Amino acid sequence: MTSGFFITFEGGEGAGKSTQIERLARRMRAKKYEVLVTREPGGSPGAEAVRHVLLSGAAEPFGPKMEAILFAAARSDHVEQVIRPAVESGSIVLCDRFMDSSRVYQGITGGLDPDFMEALEAVAINGMVPDMTLIFDIDPAEGLKRAAARRGAGDSADRFEKETLAVHQRRREAFLAIAEAEPDRCIVIDASADPETVENVVTAAVFAVLERRMPVQRKQTAPA
């Protein structure tokens, strides 16, 4: 039985997910919700060990199937070690990327077989479907510009960010297609606006659902 709430943040590069997760976490903690912020690939010691292999491009020569399985292995560890225990203990988990990133990056732009991807997803998440997914939508040209600015001059783009604009466009469309196919779980957020506007939109969307699903008595109880 799950008593907490699991929210994932998805979208292309430079959409501002990490900034917005921090802002939402702050707003939730101010309302006395217990919040855990995490990210993928990574989020648990086992998954963090796999993260470098994936983002450095060390696994790229072995093909998208190898990468997809590594993402799934990392996700399985993250789910069982961190996400599920936190949600079961009543926390709100905010996760920067999750299964939709694999569907899009490995499945759609990696060209992997949909049945294979579906089976892999089922093993990786083992029933831990997000209660809510925010899809941050931005023109990839703008997103890549933001991501490059955030990185600064010295650092180069990672394995997935460095791909062509056409690939990033296909990813944007694939995320929007997921949102259309699963409207009960997904909300599309216009990430092109300034951070304050996006924060207000995110806060309103999340709290509208949260206040219904996690009423006050389920929140962290203040010490007597």
Q: Is residue 63 marked as binding? A: no
Residues that bind ligand TYD (CB under 6 A): 13, 17, 40-41, 55, 71, 96-97, 101-102, 105-106, 158, 160-161
Q: What does the block give as tokens for 165?
A: 């604009």
Helix (H, G, I), strand (E, B) or coil at 95: strand
Q: Which is nearer to ligand TYD, 33 or 70 (CB)?
A: 70
- Minimum distance between the CB of residue 20 and ligand TYD, rounded to whole angstroms? 11
Cα–Cα distance between 10 and 206 in angstroms, integer? 14
Strand boundaries in 82-192, DSSP class E:
92-96, 132-137, 186-190
Judged by CB, which is closer to ligand TYD: 1, or 181? 181
Contact 168, 12 (CB under 8 A): yes
Closest CB 8 distance from ligand TYD, rounded Å: 10
Tell me whether residue 41 or residue 140 sits nearer to ligand TYD (CB atom).
41
Q: Does the annotation place 91 within a ligand binding site? A: no
Query: Is residue 65 a known part of a binding site?
Result: no
Minimum Å gap between C-beta 196 and ligand TYD is 20
192 carries a ligand binding annotation = no
Does residue 224 contact residue 150 with C-beta atoms inside 8 Å?
Answer: no
152 marked among binding-site residues? no
E runs forming strands in the chain: 5-11, 35-39, 92-96, 132-137, 186-190
Nearest distance in Å: CB 112, ligand TYD: 11
User: What is the 3-state composition of the chain as percent helix, strand, coil, each rounded to the nearest 5?
Assistant: 55, 10, 30
**Binding site members for ATP:** 11-18
